[in-house]
Structure 1
């Protein structure tokens, strides 16, 4: 029988992004004294957002009752409180969703009904009322959601790290997981530097590597994770946009239409357009290690998905490379915008989980296994939803730790190794 002292920690979190750190933070607050270690393969914190910050999503476009809807709506409110408590830059600006063509009006009305079902503050606007919020924007109709905004998510992640370490946890960088051994008593993980960490429970928040970690653990993830590149532009003159302005999304496409985001630093970001990436890295170094295109969209399901959505994928790929195409899309919201008004912005990356038949996973996907909890898909709203998501992951992890006979101490000192 393995004694408590033989474990290096109680819960081992793989992945030091905002989801992994939110889970570790929730563990230390839900069960004080829980020994937590976070392993991150990158050499340092991965800055997912630049100085302009990232979007705080509203959740309005997600199906009522879905995890994404519940956690995004709840997470946006909790995030505002967390930022206020810790002095992190955060601004609630509201979000304008604009219909520029008659065919978009029924979808706009559907969003009104969905937003009200979520309990969101939604106001319907005509052309003159649009100008009250965004003088430079033109449209047939719009809705304003009062909960959208921008946040310095890099500082949120840094604060979560500080909270975890202050509670006795440890975050190790440059620690890529290369082997996982599941035993009756728990999990043993070997990292790229040859060190072994023994834990009662493993929490897999590895993002692009989440399916690989699940397979190393001996579980069948049922999904394949692909890496996508998010290409963006910035408006050279940001004055025409005050806050967040989005075109009405088309549910037949996998990504929303034109999006304009005024950041914390005053810059206005256009996009992003999402296309398959050629980098197999974490989030910090999107061009460090190249992979063949076939490894990005190599599975049969991936190709079926690409064919099914070829019109939109072609538009997205063309838009990410063509300044003229981006300018045309933006001009539907901001008349008069030309190619000369756009300048390239740093690219980002995100992940997408695909089912075996190639269907994209739209909601959060969590799977439980003996001594393990896997977060197999975290949509783009994950940063906004990170606090309630982290609590759910922590709840599941603690249940699995309890199954080994462990009880969280009321007071525990010391760090995981």
Structure 2
């Protein structure tokens, strides 16, 4: 008779691995497994992001993002230092380039203070001292922000899990779910898995996994491709430089990121992808397009924000428009300084009424915990999110 796991986690990104890590530490006698359809760990959102450790500046006080980001960032710094993963507490500046942005900048300062984030307000001269080539009329300096390699964090988590006897199965896609008495029977491409509880950390495919499990997810995933450029002019900025974000969207705008390997990336924009894993321009799937057309929430979203979406698509297709957006912060930047870098795809949950889910979204039933929205700062806060999910189990 097949052995029954205590917990099986679907999805080997940083949140799924952090959940297994928390379970293995807290329940050392239990049988835990992590399944991922890819040949390696952290190959999607975990391995395609800017590597920024966020401070908790942006998030509404009392939200799950606010609760997890501040302490989660410190936990990530400690984890990286303990395991020899490159990490730097670089600090960041959030820059207002015009007077209309000043009320939003003040709101960010208020949120940061409410969330326990150290924030220092800067005038133009003080901004030039930190970032001589950046231009703005006012800014916030946030010293706790930093950078690491979240892909390396995921691989280290997998190594630790293997040492603790957790079953790790790559190349294993979930294709069906059934119940057998008190247990779940998970049909996968590498055989059947029996388990008492399961956790859905499937990211871009989290709503599909929830549907396979018999749930009716309260939100559907709309993938957004985040496109970056890289520049060889590494002298342009010292650390992390962000614009004041638009509060209508859970995206932070085109920013300048010093990566942990020393490279400098500019971006991302946010273009609706035509495939779940639409990392390339032109990538599309008939199944995904069918879901886009049939989903009422996505149709409402498209009608409401078509102008914004058209602008993002234009910046994606026409490089000078992208450069113009970045030059608001960095006037010295030129199109010849930029070459295309690897894109990422963000799993953004959308409710049936067309609203973008801004906070983490987790739903539970007798057998499952479904993580249906875990955008930034999920990588930053992954160790704490993992503990929270383990506690729910």
Deviation at 1:119, TM superposition (A): 0.7
Moved more, 200-209 or 308-317: 308-317
Match of 2:91 in 1: 94
Q: Give yes or no for the alignment of 1:182 onto 2:182.
A: no
Contact 2:275/2:289 (8 A) holds in 1: no
Unaligned runs of 5+ in 1: 398-417
Distance 1:249 1:335, change over 3 A: same
Match of 1:345 in 2: 341
Deviation at 1:141, TM superposition (A): 0.5
Deviation at 1:288, TM superposition (A): 11
Contact 1:279/1:286 (8 A) holds in 2: no
Match of 1:405 in 2: none
**Aligned partners of 1:108, 1:134: CA distance in 2, in Å?**
18
User: Within 5 Å, which residues of 2 pair with 1:186-335?
Assistant: 186-193=183-190, 195-281=191-277, 290-292=284-286, 294-295=289-290, 297-298=292-293, 299-335=295-331
SS of aligned partner of 1:297 = helix
**Aligned partners of 2:385, 2:17: CA distance in 1, in Å?**
11
Distance 1:307 1:92, change over 3 A: same
Deviation at 1:270, TM superposition (A): 0.8
Q: How does the TM-score come out when normalised to structure 1?
A: 0.89
**Aligned partners of 1:127, 1:227: CA distance in 2, in Å?**
37
**Aligned partners of 1:287, 1:137: CA distance in 2, in Å?**
30
Instruction: State the superposition RMSD in angstroms.
Output: 2.0
Q: How does the TM-score come out when normalised to structure 2?
A: 0.94
Q: Give yes or no for the alignment of 1:13 onto 2:3.
A: no
SS of aligned partner of 2:251 = coil
Deviation at 1:295, TM superposition (A): 3.4
Deviation at 1:258, TM superposition (A): 2.5
> What's the CA shift string for 1:173-216, capped at 9, x where partnerless?
111001111243121101023x1111110111111111111111
Contact 1:108/1:142 (8 A) holds in 2: yes
Deviation at 1:275, TM superposition (A): 0.9
Give runs of ≥4 in structure 1 deviating > 6 Å. 49-52, 285-289
Deviation at 1:253, TM superposition (A): 3.7
Match of 1:64 in 2: 61
Contact 1:280/1:289 (8 A) holds in 2: no
Distance 1:208 1:50, change over 3 A: closer
**Aligned partners of 1:302, 1:50: CA distance in 2, in Å?**
27
Match of 1:55 in 2: 52
